[in-house]
A and B are shown apart, each in its own frame.
Chain A
Amino acid sequence: EDKVVQSPLSLVVHEGDTVTLNCSYEVTNFRSLLWYKQEKKAPTFLFMLTSSGIEKKSGRLSSILDKKELFSILNITATQTGDSAIYLCAVSNNGRGGADGLTFGKGTHLIIQP
């Protein structure tokens, strides 16, 4: 059974701080790892990573995957109050052994204080 573990579960920092969110996984026939941001309702897509060592960046957010050690990190620099959200990590398998969509971690609840 595929498994995703995120840490920390909750994090409170001050505006301007840099945060690192962690995601470790176990998955058969790994295909990709995805990060989502969930503010009020629907999770919204941030990054999809398929190869080790290639950093994906979008403004102040960046993410990297280590397929050997089976983890990914999501970095947010110069945090703003609008970054407050639950950040979800998910993994997908290649669909051949057992197509079961994405397996999500329980998320990291990030709170940015002004």
Chain B
Amino acid sequence: DSGVTQTPKHLITATGQRVTLRCSPRSGDLSVYWYQQSLDQGLQFLIQYYNGEERAKGNILERFSAQQFPDLHSELNLSSLELGDSALYFCASSSLINEKLFFGSGTQLSVL
């Protein structure tokens, strides 16, 4: 158990809908990262937060947004969902910026 908690574990929804994925980092970790993993693309970095502030953006679509709250948990919002958004979404946390990451178990999103 990495100490990073993600909910829900599975999510099935229809195209055009909006979903929210939730992540609680390890106790004491200030950095939260979101990754998307699909079979053909591997693990793709989406966005990073550090102590409530957005620190870096990767290949995140405009339809996607995220935030980190004062209690350090983070949410990833995916809207206007398309079939191609079906993937495994991971949250990870670390105590230092860009150092060893600890991953949650992921949310498997299926868009039908």
- Seen from chain A, the residues whose Cβ lies within 8 Å of a Cβ on chain B are 31-32, 34, 36, 41-45, 48, 88, 90, 92-95, 98-107
Q: Which of B67-112 contact A (CB under 8 A)?
A: 88, 90, 97-106
| Given A41-B105, A41-B106, A42-B105, A99:B43 Cβ within 8 A | no
| Given A41-B105, A45-B100, A94-B98, A100:B48 Cβ within 8 A | yes
CB-based A-B contact count at 8 angstroms: 69
| Given A42-B2, A44-B2, A107-B42, A101:B106 Cβ within 8 A | no
- Seen from chain B, the residues whose Cβ lies within 8 Å of a Cβ on chain A are 2, 4, 33, 35, 41-45, 48, 55-58, 88, 90, 97-106
B56 touches A99 (CB 8 A): yes
List 6 A-B pairs, Cβ < 8 Å.
A32-B99, A42-B90, A43-B43, A100-B58, A101-B98, A107-B43
B2 touches A101 (CB 8 A): no
> How far apart are the CA atoms of A34 and B90 in the complex, in Å?
17
A50 to chain B, nearest CB (A): 10
Closest to A98 in B: B56
B105 touches A101 (CB 8 A): no
